[in-house]
């Protein structure tokens, strides 16, 4: 799925692809750390730049902590305070292993201060995701999707669903889609670019319902 991002954001594809997919979270992180560590032994990095709260972010932080290098975490300090979210574990551990913490706003800045981080390690650098949106805003507004789906500008809702606490809970996922359906029929259209993981969960629900009704 990542290839479309490189194309749309007009950035160079990575020189190295770890190619770790379709395994459990623990196995994925362990295999990533192993492969990253091997590459670090070959390259000996001075700086390791990490972004976000994914499993690869955590793996990069753990691998880099064994080397004498600066570890920079972009989007540091964000907290949901929900320990059931794997992303929350990734954020916290990555922050604690990083030497430079780049935050998007005053809220994550204060989160880190409240957790005892030194103010000297924290830098307010802004929101990269918002920067990307601003950069592509004109292109997005000119997309032919408006005509394709018969949409009127500023009269529809764009939504995505991919967080594990929603997609891994059948009842919650069904309720989310029921409400989205209510909104689309009673208020305005809902456009849903569906994440592959969400699609798989929906197909599983469909299969369960069909088996239950047959």
Helices and strands per DSSP (H, E), number in the chain: 10, 6
**Chain mean position to CA 79:** 13
CA distance 25 to 58: 11
Q: Please tell me which residue in 73, 96, 162, 168 is annotated as part of the active site.
A: 162
CA distance 83 to 163: 13
Contacts of 185 (CB under 8 A, 6+ apart): none
What DSSP string describes 122-187? EEE---HHHHHHHHHHHHHHT-THHHHTT--TTSSEE-----HHHHT-HHHHHHHHHHHHHHHHHT
CA distance 162 to 143: 24
CA atoms within 13 A on the CB side of 137: 6
Rg (CA), the chain: 20
Residue 168 falls in the annotated catalytic set = no
Active site residues: 162
């Amino acid at each position: 799925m990542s290839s479309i991002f490189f194309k749309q954001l007009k950035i160079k594809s990575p020189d190295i692809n770890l190619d770790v997919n379709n395994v459990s979270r623990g196995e994925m992180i362990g295999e990533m750390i192993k492969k990253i560590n091997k590459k670090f032994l070959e390259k000996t990095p001075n700086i390791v730049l990490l972004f976000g709260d994914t499993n690869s972010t955590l793996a990069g932080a753990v691998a880099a902590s064994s080397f004498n290098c600066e570890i920079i975490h972009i989007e540091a300090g964000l907290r949901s305070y929900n320990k059931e979210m794997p992303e929350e574990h990734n954020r916290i551990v990555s922050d604690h292993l990083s030497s430079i913490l780049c935050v998007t706003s005053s809220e994550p800045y204060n989160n880190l201060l409240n957790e005892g981080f030194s103010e000297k390690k924290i830098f307010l650098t802004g929101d990269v995701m918002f920067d990307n949106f601003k950069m592509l805003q004109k292109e997005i507004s000119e997309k032919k999707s408006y005509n394709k789906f018969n949409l009127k500008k500023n009269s529809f809702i764009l939504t995505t669903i991919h967080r594990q606490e929603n997609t891994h809970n059948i009842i919650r996922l069904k309720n989310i889609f029921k409400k989205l359906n209510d909104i689309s029929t009673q208020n305005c259209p809902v456009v849903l670019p569906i994440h592959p993981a969400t699609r798989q969960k929906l197909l599983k629900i469909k299969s369960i319902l069909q088996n239950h009704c047959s």
